[in-house]
Structure 1
Amino acid sequence: MITILLITDQPRLQSIFASIGELPGVTLRMAGSLDHGAEEITAAAPAIVFVQDRLSGLSGNIIARHIRSRLTSEETKIILLSEDNPDLSQIKEFVDRCLDLRETDQVLTSAVENILAALVQKEENSAPGKPNASELVEKVYDQVKLSRESSPAEINGEKQAAVQASEEPAEKSRFQDRLETVLESQEPVSVHFAETRHIHSDGTPSEPGMILRGERVGDYIIRDEPGKNRFWLFAIASVALVAILFYLLAGGKKQPAKTITVKPASVSAQSAAKQTPTPSRLTRLPAFIPAQGVDAAYAKTHPGWEKYITNKLEFKVYREKDFIKALQVIDLSGGAITEGYLKDVLKEVGGDSAYAVATKAEKGNYLIEKGSISAAGRIITYRDKSSLHLKGFVVHFQ
């Protein structure tokens, strides 16, 4: 939290700094006179003092000297607001910087915001022992294992395995095995007469009534009893005709086989699958992330990552082949992220606001919770150890 003190009697400056005081992490105090400003400094020393030149008719040199004498810390910055463009070489001992009041309100506001941003960065760098949410979430993607592209060797191995699998014959079903067995049993065995007909020692052929080895019964009947060929043909034809007539008559009355209906999967499950997109296939930026707040420079130094900033929140998005694989959200206001906001985010990106915590661990001033979400992903939350306020969270899609 940065505390700034503004000492001025100009409504214009009071209006400009009023908007700056609404920034997250900034506390603004105002004083309308030099004496009032001295009282504010004595009550609680600010991190930075913005003071108007020619206040009560006094020069910037006198004002800066007076303020510096009241400060107990040399770390407090003094910024002089002047219209005369004073010579800083004469007052550099007491003033750190001077802003020109002849600039527009927008230019002045931007200059003050840059000063505050530099001060915040300096404080963060000077206190490494006290981690903040930004530093914690910055390295979350190193802790969470993100899926990477397969190496060329892995890809070639997978392709070769697929080719081998396609060349191997498919496993035969039990029905197909039995069908082939029956077909094979119907095939006659090819046997030559010369090899199978029994010849007696005297050269006479085997007697009628003997079945030659390898000979089918039908062939034996025709060969052995030629006089009865017509009778057998008539008998076989009659039996076949009766069988055909029986089949035709019975077929008209035959009841159809009972149809087994396979019940489809739950309708609700199917509709849910249609309505909820697969989280790991998200490509569009979620609606809760402001596209206009993109930090283009961040993506250049962090391949695969995108950064978006608002006054209160910072968003980071990690992509692989245009698909969103991870989302990071951290608080910048010094307050907390509400549980309702977290549930809304999970609902939008995963279709369900529920999540389950698997492990908890303390690290510095934070309680780190790791768990899973219903949409095939994982979640990491960072909470203040004492208040349990949510400071940041990461969602990783598997």
Structure 2
Amino acid sequence: MPAPLPSPASIRRLRAWLAAYLMIAVLAAAAHLRPVLQAQSLPTAAARWIWKPIDQLDHNPTAFYAVRDFRLGSPTARARLMITADEEYVVTLNGKRIGAGAFEPGAPLDVYEAGPLLLPGGNRLLVELRSGDGTGGLLASLVDEATGRQIVGTDDGWRILPAHQLGLVRGWMPIGAGEPAFAWGYPPIGRWGSPKVSAPRPLLGEEMGPPLPAAAMLPLSLPAGLTDGRPPGSPVLYDWGRTVEGYLTLEMPPAKDLGMALLFTGETPPDPLAARPTAAVLVMPGEPEWLDARPRRFRYALLVGLKRPAAAAVRPVPPGRVRPPRPIRDRVFGIQGPPLRTPVEDEVWSKLQRLPGAARGKDL
């Protein structure tokens, strides 16, 4: 006996369900493709904001490498690298440091002419990233200026490596041991906004002059009442004898753990209890040298919290390159709030307070 034919009402219901499923699929595809299509109109094209995989509750200071290998049949004559990172970065292409910088809301991307450093065959783009509270982001895009084609951009194909090794920077050590980067997504995202392009900056090696070592290094004791003597991490004051402008560099024996210190700079010897730190110093495990991400103007530099002895020098930059420091917003609706310390400040001072002989009642 033949099966009964479906009723017209059943056929209409089936068509309605199929139409609903098709509409849901179309809307889902549109929601997925919309940010991809929007990104194509941005200067960074398909690049996404990336970072190392972290726990949402992890706010510990961090420093690490984000690395990407790529191949070229023949290097392009002109290639533009657009990059920014929150909080700060130092970028290396095929073993050559080409730039450094720090994120500022609303500021354009840093742009470097990277074509002369590209090689036929294998290439390595490596970015040292630092964050005082553990969170942040990197956005970078390398573009062939002749065709507008993106050669490489930040995405989850990048690898994250937590410690410095010379072979990683020079390019002969494989990066397979690293973990995949976590992609936050396409811009604009949160406070990072839509990327804008600035005029090209000089490459770091062309901009910086020969190192100017500090004229004097004076080990200091910790503030009275904190502890006796000079335990590891005690302040060290560097004096150049005159005002200098440039990137501060520190050389030190490599260590297996992340190095953390507070940097104070000024035209007079800084008081670490009266002034806010100029910057946090985060030294990757295994790293023998730290380069500041910003050029600064100062005569004195005070370092607090670094357990390893450090030799200090300044790589000078042309006049006018140093920008004034950003103002610290410590008022809300005109009301002065309590002083807030960064996680790096908390870590450095708490370690010194935990030292034998430290006065427990002293709150720095």
Mark the structure with the bigger radius of gyration. 1
Q: Which has the higher strand share?
A: 2
TM-score, structure 2 length as denominator?
0.22
TM (norm. structure 1) is: 0.20
Q: Which has the higher helix share?
A: 1
| Greater relative CO, 1 or 2 (CA 8 Å, sep 6+) | 2
